[in-house]
Amino acid sequence: MELKYKKIGIVVKPHKDVAFYLKKAVQVLQSLKVEIFLEKIAAELLGEKSAVLREEIAGYADMIIVIGGDGTFLSVAKHAVEQDVPVAGFNLGALGFLTELKKERLEETIEAALNDQLTISERKLLQLHYKGETGVALNDVVVSKGNIARIIKLSLEIDGLYVADIKADGLIVSTPTGSTAYSLAAGGPIVTPPVDGVVVTPICPHSLTFRPFVIPAGSRVKVKLISEGTEVFITIDGQKVIPMHSGDYFETTVYSKKLKMVVSNNMNYFRLLNEKLNWGL
């Protein structure tokens, strides 16, 4: 059978076990006679001089293998989306909602993925609009205060309609995929990935009546900073941090493209919640 994916990029996180699993991945890829592109850390671990920049690897590959954790996965996702390249994430840690493929079955899973025998889950993303610039988030866009122990005041609008002025430590706008990340820790709901919605979650609100809520995916969320004299930042997927100043505002919309995420055929979303969070047990 001819392989569907023949150009494979590998991105890894520095970890005590990563070299072992990286070598196993390369061995199985070599046995399948596919072209391999190594990101810098992976190349260094293997003693290879030829390496590809992480932000460029999606342009070389038709599938990306991530060995590490969700942070590593997120750093690749935005580039994979633009090139319409699926990402297969193998988790080396204890959590790993995005890197849900099991490292213990790495070899057989890679072979199945390249043969197009695994499920591709399409995930929605958010697009941030701020001062003429844009950014893309798979999990969430967060506005929050800096190190000073002082709440901030934000004004929230949805589709041009005023919602509320919020006094809180911040606000999270998340995708269904990101509902199990920061939003969940802040008291937000678990939303299954196929749901066509966006989650808005306050962080430690002053008013206990202001609860997290879910809005249609097509909604435009506008958040304006009213507070003065306090450090405030916008964070995209925990990867990119942007200072925000009094009077500034940002908007989020659902991005026009989706991420293709490789998931195992025997792992449904509720089983994943059981394994990672002991949810429902």
Query: How do residues 30-45 score in pLDDT, each as one tens digit?
Result: 999 999 999 999 999 9
Residues 209-217 have a mean pLDDT of 95
91 plus 71 within the same structural domain: yes
142 plus 218 within the same structural domain: yes
- Of 147 and 29, the structure prediction assigns the larger pLDDT to 29
Catalytic, 196? Answer no
Per-residue pLDDT at 1: 64
Does any domain span residue 54? yes
Distances (CA, A) of 63 to 69, 168, 222, 227: 17, 41, 35, 45
Does any domain span residue 1? no
What is the Cα–Cα distance from 145 to 127, expressed in whole angstroms? 21
Question: Going by C-beta distance under 8 Å and a sequence separation of 6 or more, which residues neighbour residue 164?
Answer: 155, 156, 210
User: Is the confidence at residue 118, as pLDDT, over 80?
Assistant: yes
Residue with tokens 């609009």: 129
Q: What are the residues facing 7 on neighbouring strands?
A: 35
130 plus 91 within the same structural domain: no
76 plus 143 within the same structural domain: no
HSE-CB at 67 with a 13 A cutoff on CA atoms is 29
Per-residue pLDDT at 60: 97
| Residue range 237-256, pLDDT digits in tens | 999 999 999 999 999 999 99
Q: In terms of Cα–Cα distance, which of 20, 47, 21, 50 is closest to 35?
A: 50
Q: What are the residues facing 260 on neighbouring strands?
A: 122
DSSP characters for 43-60?
Answer: HHHHT-S--B-GGGGGGT
Structural domain range at position 187:
126-254
89 plus 204 within the same structural domain: no
Residues 175-187 have a mean pLDDT of 96
Does any domain span residue 41? yes
Query: What CATH number is associated with residue 103?
Result: 3.40.50.10330
- Looking at 70, 140, 165, 248, which residue is catalytic? 70
Q: Exposed, middle or buried by CB within 10 Å (0-12, 13-18, 19+), for 147?
A: exposed
Here the tokens at position 84 are: 């319409």
| Residue range 69-110, pLDDT digits in tens | 999 999 999 999 999 999 999 998 767 889 989 999 999 999
Q: In terms of Cα–Cα distance, which of 44, 39, 8 is closest to 25?
A: 8
Here the tokens at position 59 are: 């342009």
DSSP-derived pairing of the beta strands 126-130 and 249-254: antiparallel
Q: How many domains would you assign to the chain?
A: 2
Do 215 and 161 touch, CB atoms closer than 8 A? no
- Would you tell me how many other CB atoms lie within 10 Å of the CB of residue 206? 12
Query: What CATH number is associated with residue 182?
Result: 2.60.200.30
